[in-house]
Amino acid sequence: MSEISGRQKTLYFLKFIGLGLVVGVAYVDPGNWGTDIAAGSKFGYSLLWVVVMSNLIGIFMQYLSSKLGIATGMSLSENCRENFSKHKTIGLWISAEIAVIATDLAEVVGAAIAIFLLFKIPLIYGAMLASLDTLLILGLEKFGMRKIEAVIIGMMVLIGCAYLIEINLAQPDWNQIAYHAVVPSLNHNSLIIAVGILGATVMPHAIFLHSAMTKTRKTIFDVLKTPKRIIRFSLMDTVVALVFAGLINGAILVMSAATFYQKNLAIESIQTAYQTLSPLLGNVSGLAFGVALLASGIASSVVATLSGQVIFEGFTKLRTNLWKRRLVIR
């Protein structure tokens, strides 16, 4: 590796990055929106530390997943198949499939809600449209996984931009944010939502996917050769991506606290949050919220489908088509 210059290392790192942002979409899916909005509207900024803690746990788990993929050349599901008995492998496979299907359901419902809020299209038709959009994105696979990655990353950036607008309009208390981001505060009333934030943040299907997606960087592995440097690249990629995802989750809670909690409005659903935002912060806020929710639902649904594929193939050794899997699950 001594013959590779610092500039070349930077170029290889830029070619490597992207995996973290793809799996990071799972950390800002509609399920996170629901828990973060509820937490902010009911308890203000006090549960912001849970978002920070959950994000740190997520970074650790995703790093271990990518490290496993780099070190073994196999996904987590393939490693499970190779290292556990047949009965244990079947049990793990079934539980992983149930988890990814349940997650995918939430993603599609979130996208359908966004379509209803933005275009007043009934939920059933919105779910069909969301599934169609996802299929079109998955169709990019024939042009290479990088194309799908680019679309997902673009949606992630769109969500981040939307919440920059929300935070600017909400005008939160930055002193309270700084305090509650690092000082734990919990009681019996907020415990369930705190657990919900953790559960919605650390997603099992993203852990399975991350280990498998390291295979898409094989050409970079062949050039760098040194596993330690590749793992270091993966760590940097994971940290940057999931810190970005954590900032979005934190922004959702902060927006809810600054807007709803200050008005003594306990928000129970995403629909109610959308309908309440426009009167309080203006139409731009409602539009940004709806567009970001749509991007979140579609992007996270794509990630769920990709995860389902690597879980199925890893545990069973059978090849499957993304389109066929998507249609069967629907």
The full set of domains in the chain, from first to last, is 6-329 (1.10.4160.10)
Question: Does this model's pTM top 0.85?
Answer: yes
Mean pLDDT of 202-212: 95
* Residue closest to 131 by CA, chosen among 324, 301, 292: 301
- Cα–Cα distance between 323 and 221 in angstroms, integer? 29
Mean pLDDT of 246-266: 96
Please give the pLDDT value at position 1. Answer: 45
- Cα–Cα distance between 210 and 206 in angstroms, integer? 6
Please give the pLDDT value at position 100. Answer: 93
CB 188 within 8 A of CB 38: no
* DSSP category for residue 73: S
- Cα–Cα distance between 203 and 327 in angstroms, integer? 23
Write out pLDDT tens, residues 136-175: 777 777 777 888 889 999 999 999 999 999 999 999 999 9
Residue 100 or residue 143, greater confidence: 100
Find the radius of gyration of the CA atoms of the chain.
Answer: 20
Please give the pLDDT value at position 3. Answer: 59
- Cα–Cα distance between 304 and 299 in angstroms, integer? 9
Handedness of CA 271, 273, 104, 87 (dihedral sign): negative
- Cα–Cα distance between 173 and 175 in angstroms, integer? 6
Please give the pLDDT value at position 224. Answer: 73
